[in-house]
Amino acid sequence: MNDAPVLSNIVDAVGNTPLVRLQEASEQTGCTILGKAEFMNPGQSVKDRAAVFLIEDALKRGAVARGGVIVEGTAGNTGIGLTLVGKHYDLRSVIVIPDTQSAEKKATLRILGATLVEVPAVPYVNPNNYVHYSRRLAEAIGAREPNGACWANQFDNPANRDGHARTTAEEIWQQTGGKIDGFVASVGTGGTLAGIALGLRNKNKAVKVALADPPGAALYSYYTSGVLKAEGTSITEGIGQGRITRNLEGFAPDEAYQIPDDEAVAITHRLLEAEGICVGASTGVNIAGAIRLAKSLGPGRTIVTILCDHGMRYQSKLFNAEFLRAKGLPVPAWLAAEQADVP
Ligand code: PMP
């Protein structure tokens, strides 16, 4: 008899993801490094959780009613989550995405039934940035929709962070039996990092929390020197924040690391090759951060991080030898080979 439950709908399949021991990272550090397999959510990313938190919050507040529209600016994963979860709640989705995001995420959104609006990738200070664009679009659609339109506002609605504190942190605590010394994550909205930090620190103040930031983000500089300063660029998607979002307010990590792309990319490739875990590059940033925290805490500790989204979302980039070469990033031999030899 299998004790996996029968769920009454797909939204109930969001969360309760496995915690997986990461073999090489653990062996390399003498610690137990565990990855929360968020790519196993129905929409294949950690952002399915935020989609549930944000939609349920909007419905509860009466910001939108069933039959209405949910509008959001997103690097793609939140849009995928909102579109799937929206179907369960009878909400259509209008998704505003910067044109730099992967073709696979855009195609997925179209297939799922989102109305997709692609905008040029411009900084947050520009009024045409995807976040501001999506807020204005929500207002315009709301004015003509009988059931309303709600802007999900993932960056600045603390329902995102609170949901992670209530669910993801609680799951991690239960799954490790409270035997956890550190937690590491990168930041898009900050909901994952600040929410899980809040939840875990509530259980045990001694849990060390670290930020893993890609180049081009300003948070590493902020948490180490007090200045929001961004330098460089990154091929990672969904992470790399330039400001203190509402979800980050009142939060501070114990440690902060900046992870270069070549390191994050090599870890992500190796994780697939050696362990059969296929994820995107933000997960490589997280694991690199977990390895740094493990080295700082010393052997014998348990450190948890997030396996953020599925790698098949990045076939044309992270898993494309030509793309990697053009960016000056390492290409693993198995990816460089035109065709594998038949064994
Ligand atoms: N990794 C990926 C691939 C993402 O899409 C996101 C969300 N944008 C994150 C990490 C970071 O999650 P959060 O928004 O909770 O900070």
Q: What is the DSSP string of 240-251?
A: ---S--GGGTT-
Do 189 and 164 touch, CB atoms closer than 8 A?
Answer: no
Please give the distance, rounded to the nearest whole angstrom, from the Cα atom of residue 342 to the centre of ligand 1: 38
157 lines ligand 1 (CB under 6 A): no
Residues 6 or more apart in contact with residue 163 via CB below 8 angstroms: 49, 50, 52, 53, 191, 195
Fold of 46-151: Rossmann fold (3.40.50)
Q: Rounded CA gap, 195 and 157, in Å? A: 12
ipTM of the shown complex: 0.99
Tokens representing 63 are 């910001």
Identical fold for domains 10-41+165-331 and 46-151, yes or no, is yes
Task: Note the pLDDT tens digit of each residue in 134-190.
Answer: 999 999 999 999 999 999 999 999 999 999 999 999 999 999 999 999 999 999 999
Q: Which of 14, 101, 192 to mutate to test the pocket of ligand 1 (most atoms within 8 A of CB)?
A: 192
192 lines ligand 1 (CB under 6 A): yes
The domain spans of the chain are 10-41+165-331, 46-151
Going through the chain in order, the beta strands assigned E by DSSP cover 19-21, 32-37, 69-73, 92-98, 115-119, 149-151, 182-185, 208-213, 255-258, 302-307
CA neighbor of 290 nearest in space, from 303, 307, 280, 276 = 303
When pLDDT is averaged across residues 41-52 and rounded to a whole number, the result is 98
Residues 6 or more apart in contact with residue 245 via CB below 8 angstroms: 155, 156, 189, 190
Tokens representing 40 are 């196993």
Task: Note the pLDDT tens digit of each residue in 271-314.
Answer: 999 999 999 999 999 999 999 999 999 999 999 999 999 999 99
Q: Burial letters for 247-277: b for 16+ Cβ neighbours within 10 Å, e otherwise?
A: bbeebebbbbbbbebeebbbbbbbbbeeeeb
Closest atom, ligand 1, to C-alpha of 237: 3
Tell how strand 69-73 and strand 92-98 pair up.
parallel
Task: Tell me what pLDDT residue 1 has.
Answer: 65
Task: Tell me what pLDDT residue 4 has.
Answer: 86
Please state at what angle helix 47-61 crosses helix 159-166, rounded to 10 degrees: 120
Looking up tokens 């014998």 gives 300
Fold of 10-41+165-331: Rossmann fold (3.40.50)
Task: Note the pLDDT tens digit of each residue in 226-275.
Answer: 999 999 999 999 999 999 999 999 999 999 999 999 999 999 999 999 99
Tokens representing 297 are 């805490």
308 lines ligand 1 (CB under 6 A): yes
Which contiguous run of DSSP H or E holds residue 280? Answer: none
284 lines ligand 1 (CB under 6 A): no
Task: Tell me what pLDDT residue 337 has.
Answer: 83
**How far is C-alpha 144 from the geometric centre of its chain's CA atoms?**
32
Which contiguous run of DSSP H or E holds residue 147? Answer: none
Instruction: Examine the residue annotation and report whether 203 is marked as an active-site residue of this protein.
Output: no
